[in-house]
Amino acid sequence: MIQHLLHISHVSKHFGGNVAVSDVSFSVNEKQIFGLIGPNGAGKTTLFNCITGFFPATAGDVIFDNKKINALRPDQVCKLGMVRTWQRVKPLENLTVLENVMVGAFSITNSTGEAEANAMEQLQKVGLTDYVKKSAGSLPIGLKKKLELARVLATHPKMLLLDEICGGLNHTETDLLLDIIRGIRMKGATIVFIEHDMKAVTSICDRIVVLNSGEKLAEGTPEEITSNPDVIAAYLGGGHHA
């Protein structure tokens, strides 16, 4: 039997009178790379915020690793093994690159030495070893995205939620990052991936959910999604709905 690692069940999120996410359900299996796509304002990041405890869902359940995590705080969610990156990167600007990743590493150790070793390992993985002593705020955007990735990897997560990790990167950088992500999956982690760039998503994802105006529009394999007329309409006409 296939194990569901994350199960989203009828999740809705309202802000006052505005419905940002409406009755969305899907399941993510272990070791899957799962894509969450949709036009601007479709509710992808809001859904991430609901899942990771930044603001609780108005209705519905979030089940992770067989535990209901609706009411947990972000740090508790992280401790359970689910960690997210940010669409607008959030480097700890006045700390060094190494220290940034160490902060992630401290979620699984109390020892500064161990945290440092773990952090170096992750920095090696994403290719940031030349920048360890630089302040995180001074990095260009491409490297900040890599830093975000290294930082969450240091928490040794079961599941990573990556919010537009390739946004603002050029082709070479994107390909490099996608390779790293494939590598992470090989090691046994599960990945949920918010992305704008359809090409990136279809090339890497096993399964995709499409959101539009807060609702689930379609779910399927990359082939099914790219040939789905509703999805094509939503993407082409996305500007009107946004």
Partner 1 sequence: MKHIALVTLIAATAIALPLFIGENPYIIGILISVLMMAALSSAWNILGGYAGQYSFGHAAYFGAGAYTTLIMLTLFNTLNPVICILVGIVVASLIALMTGSIVFRLRGHYFGLASIAVAEIVRLSVLNFECTGGAQGILLTDISLWGLDLNSKNPFYYGMLLVLAVTLAITAYLRRSKTGYYLQAIREDQDAAASLGINLSFYKNKALLISAALTSVLGSLYGLYIRFIDTSAVLDLRLSIEIILTAIIGGVGTLWGPVVGAILLVPLAEILRSNLLGEALVKAGLVSETSGIGIFLKENLAHAHVLVYGIITVLCILYLPKGILGLYRRKQ
By the criterion CB under 8 A, which residues form the site for partner 1?
52, 54, 73-76, 78-79, 83-84, 86, 90-95, 99, 102-104, 106-107, 109-112, 115, 151-152, 155
Q: C-beta of 89: minimal distance to partner 1 in Å? A: 9
**C-beta closer to partner 1: residue 23 or 114:** 114
**C-beta closer to partner 1: residue 74 or 167:** 74
**What's the rounded Cα separation, in Å, for the pair 108 and 79?**
8
**C-beta closer to partner 1: residue 105 or 217:** 105
CB burial readout 172-205, b (16+ within 10 A) else e:
ebbebbbebbeebbeeebbbbbbbeebebbbebb
Count of C-beta atoms within a 10 Å radius of residue 207? 18
Q: C-beta of 135: minimal distance to partner 1 in Å? A: 10
**C-beta closer to partner 1: residue 65 or 215:** 65
CB 33 within 8 A of CB 6: no
Q: C-beta of 92: minimal distance to partner 1 in Å? A: 4
CB 176 within 8 A of CB 128: no
**C-beta closer to partner 1: residue 103 or 176:** 103
Q: C-beta of 175: minimal distance to partner 1 in Å? A: 26
| DSSP per position, 29-98 | ETT-EEEEE-STTSSHHHHHHHHTTSS--SEEEEEETTEE-TT--HHHHHHTTEEE--SS----TTSBHH
Q: C-beta of 118: minimal distance to partner 1 in Å? A: 13
